Structure 1
């Protein structure tokens, strides 16, 4: 099994819309919270800032830690190719610092990433958003627990 990986994610909400990366796989489009892996010697807040620049091309101000989610690949629908993955994800409330966010262009987007999109919170149930559990809490407007556990 691979070592456990930390990942820092941004939760960016504006006017009842959530900023997400848009990605494509053989099943179609899916959406993720901007963010990614923490580098050795890097604080989680610095990781989410760096990853947002890489994926959405905009600087962010990092706020409070909202959620911690584990993803243990062997327990989920992607086990065929993710069985040896164990990732701990830290979701931070973030705000965009850029005045011009109309031309989202990250410097190093993920290989499946095809864009960045504001998605109306009322439509979250219509898209494939991972983790789905977190999207349900956001759409319902209810406070999710800080520790979500191994959920998808």
Structure 2
């Protein structure tokens, strides 16, 4: 049996806006999610997050302390009805800043379907399809009452 995958996510907040990756489907629907991805075997989390951000947002980040963690558990089926193996990822989001002189854009190896980045105003997150939804609520809550764990979240 395989264990969960570890993901690292960058929480970059500047001028009351959070940086998100933008994904647009064939129907034009836009979904936004934090930059980051899977930690590779033998790679520490900071190195993984710096690598993932270069790949996805084309910018170097400075990684600070952990902000929160959340799990994604998904079960899907192929079109013929056969089950797809369970995807289980434990995501650790870190507060980050862009390194001096860096600005985000589309990186060297973006995720499938990713077509850019966006700065979203924290007070307008409800106007967007931010995934996971639990993270959107967490970002909108009072910082002094934010839990460290968001638990199991709806798939991104």
TM-score by length of 2: 0.86
1:11-50 per-residue CA deviation (whole Å, 9 max, x = no partner) reads 0000010011000224511001000010110011111111
Structure 1 stretches lacking a partner, 5+ long: none
| Structure number, greater radius of gyration | 2
Find the counterpart in structure 1 of residue 114 from structure 2: 113
Aligned-pair CA distance for 1:122: 1.3
Structure 2 stretches lacking a partner, 5+ long: 79-83
How far apart are the structure 1 equivalents of 2:5 and 2:98? 26
Aligned residues: 147
In 1, are the aligned partners of 2:60 and 2:102 still within 8 Å (CA)? Answer: no
Find the counterpart in structure 1 of residue 25 from structure 2: 25
Find the counterpart in structure 1 of residue 44 from structure 2: 43
- Pair 1:13 & 2:13 matched: yes
Task: Tell me the secondary structure at the aligned position of residue 69 of structure 1.
Answer: strand
Aligned-pair CA distance for 1:99: 1.0
Aligned-pair CA distance for 1:140: 3.0
- Pair 1:52 & 2:53 matched: yes
1:96-133 per-residue CA deviation (whole Å, 9 max, x = no partner) reads 004141x6230100011010111111111111111111
Find the counterpart in structure 1 of residue 124 from structure 2: 123
Range that drifts further, 131-140 or 31-40: 131-140
Aligned-pair CA distance for 1:3: 4.1
TM-score by length of 1: 0.88
Task: Tell me the secondary structure at the aligned position of residue 130 of structure 1.
Answer: coil
How far apart are the structure 1 equivalents of 2:147 and 2:153? 12
Find the counterpart in structure 2 of residue 149 from structure 1: 151
1:57-113 per-residue CA deviation (whole Å, 9 max, x = no partner) reads 111110011111111113xxxx44676100000000000004141x62301000110
In 2, are the aligned partners of 1:72 and 1:83 still within 8 Å (CA)? Answer: no
Q: CA RMSD in A?
A: 1.9
Distance change (3 Å), C-alpha of 1:83 and 1:24: farther
